């Protein structure tokens, strides 16, 4: 009886959570397994982890229903959202997700095949994978970054192994390597550091002088 109550409670919570996550239609696209790209509209979620397990898509903005797609039949998708830059002005930002085989699911009962979000593009591409860790009250969602170069995975980085992997990754850029662990050079700053590292690779300025990619000031 107790087990039934737990299962029923979980089911009701999932239903309510799913209902609460229904959001607005955002201009977007999906790409199927044959490489066909369909333009249309993607439904937004309040729960960021939901973007990693499914995409709800419709071609006609006025259509009442979205079609549910999971990673097994969609290779990538994306949508636009309005953000505010450092100057307080709104700009349109595109979010792009690709299918990626992970060693664990993003959510309970989901597949290990997830959608991961590209957060930095350049010589090094950086993808973000979020997954539920509901048993950890202080950190119910865990972030993992995936570093890719020329289509080949270099590292998967979580907070506990951040310093070890980034010291190796940034070994040729002394100013960045020596800053690791300082304020603004910690795990959650990794996307900006990758962006700055790509800027250094492109410009090859003095490796003992840290320079930020100026694009950061327009975002």
In order along its 219 residues, the chain shows pLDDT tens digits of: 443 433 333 444 444 344 334 579 999 999 999 999 999 999 999 999 999 999 999 999 999 999 999 999 999 999 999 988 877 889 999 999 999 999 999 999 999 999 999 999 999 999 999 999 988 888 899 999 999 999 999 999 999 999 999 999 999 999 999 999 999 999 999 999 999 999 999 999 999 999 999 876 555
Q: What is the pLDDT of residue 86?
A: 76
With 0-12 CB in 10 A as exposed, 13-18 as middle and 19+ as buried, what is 65? exposed
3-state SS, residue 74: strand
84-112 pLDDT tens trace: 887 788 999 999 999 999 999 999 999 99
User: Residue 36 falls within a domain, yes or no?
Assistant: yes
User: Residue 52 falls within a domain, yes or no?
Assistant: yes
Beta carbons of 132 and 106 less than 8 angstroms apart: yes
Q: % helix / strand / coil in the chain, to the nearest 5?
A: 30, 35, 35
User: Residue 96 falls within a domain, yes or no?
Assistant: yes
Q: Which domain holds residue 164?
A: 23-218
**Which distant-in-sequence residues (6+ apart) come within 8 Å of 162 by Cβ?**
186, 187, 190
Best CA proximity match to 191, nearest among 125, 132, 123, 96: 125
User: Residue 56 falls within a domain, yes or no?
Assistant: yes
Q: What is the pLDDT of residue 76?
A: 98
Alpha-carbon distance 66 to 55, whole Å?
Answer: 9
Q: How many domains in the chain?
A: 1
């Amino acid at each position: 009886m107790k087990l039934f109550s737990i299962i029923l409670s979980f089911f009701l919570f999932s239903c309510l959570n799913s209902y609460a996550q229904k959001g607005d239609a955002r201009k977007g696209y999906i790409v199927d397994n044959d490489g066909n790209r369909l333009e249309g509209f993607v439904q937004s979620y309040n729960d960021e982890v939901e973007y990693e397990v499914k995409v709800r898509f419709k071609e006609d903005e006025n259509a009442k229903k979205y079609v549910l797609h999971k990673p097994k039949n969609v290779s990538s998708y994306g949508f636009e959202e309005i953000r505010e830059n450092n100057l307080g002005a709104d700009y349109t930002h595109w979010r792009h997700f690709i299918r990626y085989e992970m060693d664990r699911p993003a959510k309970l009962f989901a597949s290990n095949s997830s959608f991961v979000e590209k957060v930095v593009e350049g010589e090094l591409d950086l993808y973000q994978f979020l997954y539920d860790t509901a048993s950890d009250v202080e950190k119910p969602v865990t972030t993992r970054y995936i570093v890719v170069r020329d289509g080949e995975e270099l590292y998967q980085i979580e907070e506990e192994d951040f310093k070890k992997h980034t010291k190796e990754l940034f070994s040729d850029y002394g100013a960045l390597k020596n800053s690791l662990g300082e304020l603004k050079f910690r795990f959650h700053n990794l996307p900006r550091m990758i962006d700055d590292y790509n800027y250094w690779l492109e410009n090859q300025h003095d490796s003992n002088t840290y320079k930020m990619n100026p694009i950061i000031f327009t975002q």
